[in-house]
Amino acid sequence: MSTAAPRDDRSRVAVVTGGGRGIGRGIVEELAAARFSLVVNYRDDLESAAACCRQAESLGSPTAIPIRADVSDLVQGRRLIDETIGQLGRIDLWVNNAGVAPRVRRDLLEVTPESWDHVVGTNLRGPFFLTQSVSGALIRLQEQGLVREPQIVFITSISSTHASINRAEYCVAKAGLSMVAQLFAVALAPRGIRVYEVRPGIIDTDMTRAVHEQYSERIAAGLSPIRRWGTPRDVGRAVAAIASDSLPFSTGEVIHVDGGLHLRTL
């Protein structure tokens, strides 16, 4: 492995899929404060992505650019990687954050193939093949001496382990994504590329808007030991901690950001 690779924090580059809104934006803001240059990927909402980039630069990012790509489309995913390297020259941190909830929460016995394909395609199939391509790109960047120990982060969910029978397709996709994180962690460790899973609990974003009232009541009643909603910033701070290179002998690690929701109690 090259020892001549640049270690200048100001020039490190991070890509956050679905970075313009919600949890992705919280991640972008924290990485901006850590002086990463940023690619804010989006699918539909250019306005939010562009505003997020302006804010990132005001927080300390040397440069932040929005790039459109649907992560469920393998060709667009590869273009996202190529455009990032073309415009910013390197990738030090790749954050697989983009994700969707089922458009309609349906009982397990009524899940439709269309909803399955939409959710699994975006939350599991897309990130799997995207990370395959990212891995190849990171290895090439290492071989060129442009990066030394890049990292990959998967944003999964408490739904990786907790069964919600009114959104089975989401739980299946997130459980699968947790295994994807482990697989890439094992495969890439010999090359010095570490992989982490950040597993949020209930976070206050557009995704949870429709169930806000119901979850607020359950949180107040003690659903999670820390009785408050999680924020995008909570998740962003966990990713920034990973990006600070503070976990050099850990890979495949799960970092819960859920106020203790995953803990069993008696």
Contact residues for ligand NAP, defined by CB under 6 A: 17-18, 20-24, 41-45, 48, 70-72, 97-100, 122, 155, 157, 200, 202-203, 205-208
CB of 9 to ligand NAP, least distance (A): 26
* Phi, psi angles (nearest 5°) of residue 59: -90, -10
Residue 1, CA atoms < 13 Å, CB-side half-sphere? 14
Coil, strand or helix at 22: helix
Stated as kind and residue range, the H or E segment containing 235 is: helix 232-243
Rank residues 77 and 147 by Cβ distance to ligand NAP and give the closer one: 77
Rank residues 137 and 203 by Cβ distance to ligand NAP and give the closer one: 203
Candidates 88, 31, 27, 101; CA nearest to 59 is: 31
CB of 21 to ligand NAP, least distance (A): 4
Candidates 11, 168, 181; CA nearest to 96 is: 181
Rank residues 143 and 206 by Cβ distance to ligand NAP and give the closer one: 206
CB of 190 to ligand NAP, least distance (A): 28
How far apart are alpha carbons 116 and 125 in whole angstroms? 11
CB of 4 to ligand NAP, least distance (A): 35
Q: Which residue has the tokens 């505003």?
A: 51
List the beta bridge partners of residue 93. 14, 151
CB of 71 to ligand NAP, least distance (A): 4
Rank residues 97 and 131 by Cβ distance to ligand NAP and give the closer one: 97
For 199-221, the three-class secondary structure string (H helix, E strand, C coil) is EECCECCHHHHHHHHHHHHHHHC
Identify whether 42 is a catalytic site residue: no
Coil, strand or helix at 100: coil
How far apart are alpha carbons 159 and 103 in whole angstroms? 16
Given 42, 170, 196, 215, the catalytic residue: 170
Rank residues 115 and 205 by Cβ distance to ligand NAP and give the closer one: 205
Q: Which residue has the tokens 């590329």?
A: 193
Coil, strand or helix at 171: helix
Which residues are annotated as catalytic?
170
